[in-house]
Amino acid sequence: MHFSFKIIFYVIFLINSILCYDPPKRAGHDSVIINNRLLVLAGEKNQSSYTYELFYLDLSMSFDNTNLPWTLIPDGNLPINNRFSTAIVGLDNSTIFQIGGFIINKDTLDYDFSKQVYTYDYSTSKWATPSIIGDNVPPRQQIRGVIDNSGIIYIFGGVNATNLTALTGTRYNDMNTLDTSSLTWRTLSISENLPFPCCDYSASLLPNGIIVYIGGQEDSGLTYYVLVKMKSIKLFDTKKLEWSSMNATGDDVDSRWLFSSVLTSDGYIIIFGGCSYYYFSVSPNLAILDTNKSPYEWSIPSNSKVNSPPFIYGHSSNLYFNYMIILFGYNADDQIYNSQVYIYDTTSNKWVTSFNPPVSTTTSTSTSISTRTSSSTSTRTSTHTSANTLTTSTKKSSKGLAIGLGLGISAVVVISGIFIIIFISRRKKRILRISGNQ
Ligand SMILES: *[C@@H]1O[C@H](CO)[C@@H](O)[C@H](O)[C@H]1NC(C)=O
Ligand SMILES: *[C@@H]1O[C@H](CO)[C@@H](O)[C@H](O)[C@H]1NC(C)=O
Ligand SMILES: *[C@@H]1O[C@H](CO)[C@@H](O)[C@H](O)[C@H]1NC(C)=O
Ligand SMILES: *[C@@H]1O[C@H](CO)[C@@H](O)[C@H](O)[C@H]1NC(C)=O
Ligand SMILES: *[C@@H]1O[C@H](CO)[C@@H](O)[C@H](O)[C@H]1NC(C)=O
């Protein structure tokens, strides 16, 4: 009896370890959503080790943030190592455009900026380096791209690291576009109202065609870079190809870089995390910019301070229905790369620990409109309204199996916990090494 329990336990443990992929922790990565899958690509594992696996979090099933359905895409390995790039899904909902970043040749392990645009076809699991026509594609890092509903990707400024030892370089304020159907690159020539050269901002494309750039660091002509004030918002009109600026109102939000943002379909930009110029913590951890007001207005939901995640930066955020899902990054409180997934319910403005997939849109009365005119981390945004139906869809599977899996998973969690504790206690203080405060 006791013995057979043990066998069952070990079998379940084995199955769990095979089925549940345990992705390396990372920062400076990209994440995008395709077909209920939150795909993660690129990033650094530590200052000298990068990652090229492609894997996803399965959003078709319920999970809690201690039991994550990670799955590796075995054929999906990136052809390069990369970090601080941007990744955007094309209008076919299948092609990922990975642009810029600190690109490293996997064979020579040396920086290689000979190609700036890599594509991944989700349906065939194939990576490619398409030929791009038009203007020269400049090497850029620490950028965020957005795509409009005619398939044009917009990339503002960024850094070109010229000293690849110190990872320092020049900031830019040009606007580059990639037409994803003709694969044509254009560096727009705009001379009016040009913002200062800037990088590490967040970018959100509103349905009215305005891209909202928030935060980051900029080159304002001083001998050092400064962080952009969060109320000094840069706006780019993709219809008129014109720059303007706005002074937002509302609550005070610390300047930051290495933060993330999502755009909800009802016009709220939610920012999370990031750090100060010298990698110190910023306050508040989470803030919301209401772009329905004129001028835009910042607010800090009081509930967002309850059970808030630690101080992290270099993470990513994606919006899936009402869930803002925050992945990886560097946990500066504990001085470790973060393996936790944090989930913010944008409807109730609360941090939650479990994720329940929304009911199928075909049976749902409130149709979820996933707009693709969206978001900082280049994912689609979805309506708030569909959110209310979410909790009804928890799948009921066989109870026995669930208990078995639960036991197995707990064992995995306990054992990994022990390893993590050993790991942390042996670890020294480390920070991201990127083109930052030099
Ligand atoms: C980085 O990670 C690699 C393998 O994951 C390890 O061999 C190396 O010692 C690590 N380096 C640092 C600086 O932590
Ligand atoms: C891509 O996804 C969007 C939103 O889910 C949908 O409206 C659109 O029809 C899809 N496009 C294709 C080519 O499948
Ligand atoms: C970008 O930096 C590299 C050095 O890393 C330099 O060779 C190149 O000329 C720069 N390109 C531009 C467009 O500034
Ligand atoms: C690049 O940075 C390294 C490390 O900070 C420094 O030693 C070196 O002199 C720099 N190179 C140039 C060309 O400035
Ligand atoms: C924002 O405020 C500053 C002064 O604080 C002012 O100089 C600037 O013109 C304002 N910008 C806009 C677009 O109103």
DSSP string, 181-231: TTTEEEE----TTPPPPEES-EEEE-TTSEEEEE--EE--SSSS-EEPPTT
pLDDT tens across the length of the chain (438 residues): 455 555 555 555 555 555 679 999 999 999 999 999 999 999 998 878 888 999 999 999 999 988 999 999 999 999 999 999 999 999 999 999 999 999 999 999 999 999 999 999 999 999 999 999 999 999 999 999 999 999 999 999 999 999 998 888 999 999 999 999 999 999 999 999 999 999 999 999 999 999 999 999 999 999 889 999 999 999 999 999 999 999 999 999 999 999 999 999 999 999 999 999 999 999 999 999 999 999 999 999 999 999 999 999 999 999 999 999 999 999 998 899 999 999 999 999 999 999 999 876 543 333 333 333 333 333 333 333 232 222 222 233 333 334 444 445 555 555 555 444 444 443 333 445 565 544
- Tell how far the Cα of 137 is from the centroid of ligand 5, in angstroms: 33
Residue with CA nearest ligand 5 atom 6: 247
Ligand approaching nearest to the C-alpha of 163: 4
Q: What SS3 class is residue 338?
A: coil
Only one residue has tokens 């803030």, namely 287
CB 288 within 8 A of CB 269: yes
Ligand approaching nearest to the C-alpha of 51: 1
pTM: 0.83
| φ/ψ (deg, to 5) at 129 | -120, 90
Q: Closest Cα partner for 70 from 36, 23, 12?
A: 23
- Tell how far the Cα of 148 is from the centroid of ligand 3, in angstroms: 28
- Tell how far the Cα of 165 is from the centroid of ligand 4, in angstroms: 6
Q: What is the pLDDT of residue 9?
A: 52
Residue with CA nearest ligand 3 atom 1: 160
- Tell how far the Cα of 138 is from the centroid of ligand 3, in angstroms: 8
Cβ–ligand 1 distance for 335 under 6 Å, the answer no
- Tell how far the Cα of 314 is from the centroid of ligand 5, in angstroms: 30
Cβ–ligand 4 distance for 391 under 6 Å, the answer no
Report the distance separating Cα 335 and Cα 310, nearest Å: 11
Cβ–ligand 3 distance for 151 under 6 Å, the answer no
Enumerate residues 6+ apart whose C-beta is below 8 A from 97.
Answer: 87, 88, 89, 90, 117, 118, 119, 145, 153, 178, 180
| φ/ψ (deg, to 5) at 108 | -85, -15
- Tell how far the Cα of 222 is from the centroid of ligand 5, in angstroms: 20
Residue with CA nearest ligand 5 atom 13: 246
Cβ–ligand 3 distance for 43 under 6 Å, the answer no
Residue with CA nearest ligand 5 atom 4: 247
Q: What is the pLDDT of residue 359?
A: 77
Give, in degrees to the nearest 5, the angle at Cα 270 between 264 and 272. Answer: 145
State which amino acid sits at residue 428: K
Report the distance separating Cα 111 and Cα 169, nearest Å: 14
Q: Which of 165, 167, 437 to mutate to test the pocket of ligand 4 (most atoms within 8 A of CB)?
A: 165
Ligand approaching nearest to the C-alpha of 372: 2
Q: Which of 112, 140, 160, 173 to mutate to test the pocket of ligand 3 (most atoms within 8 A of CB)?
A: 160
- How is domain 2-394 classified at the CATH fold level? Neuraminidase (2.120.10)
Q: What is the pLDDT of residue 300?
A: 98
Q: Closest Cα partner for 199 from 240, 273, 256?
A: 256
- Tell how far the Cα of 311 is from the centroid of ligand 1, in angstroms: 23
Q: Closest Cα partner for 318 from 386, 266, 380?
A: 380
- Tell how far the Cα of 147 is from the centroid of ligand 2, in angstroms: 14
Shortest-distance atom of ligand 3 to CA 111: 5
Q: What is the pLDDT of residue 384?
A: 31
Residue with CA nearest ligand 1 atom 14: 46
Residue with CA nearest ligand 2 atom 13: 92
- Tell how far the Cα of 232 is from the centroid of ligand 5, in angstroms: 8
Cβ–ligand 4 distance for 162 under 6 Å, the answer no
Q: What is the pLDDT of residue 11?
A: 54
Q: Which of 32, 88, 93, 372 to mutate to test the pocket of ligand 2 (most atoms within 8 A of CB)?
A: 93
Cβ–ligand 3 distance for 160 under 6 Å, the answer yes
Q: What is the pLDDT of residue 179?
A: 98
Shortest-distance atom of ligand 3 to CA 170: 14
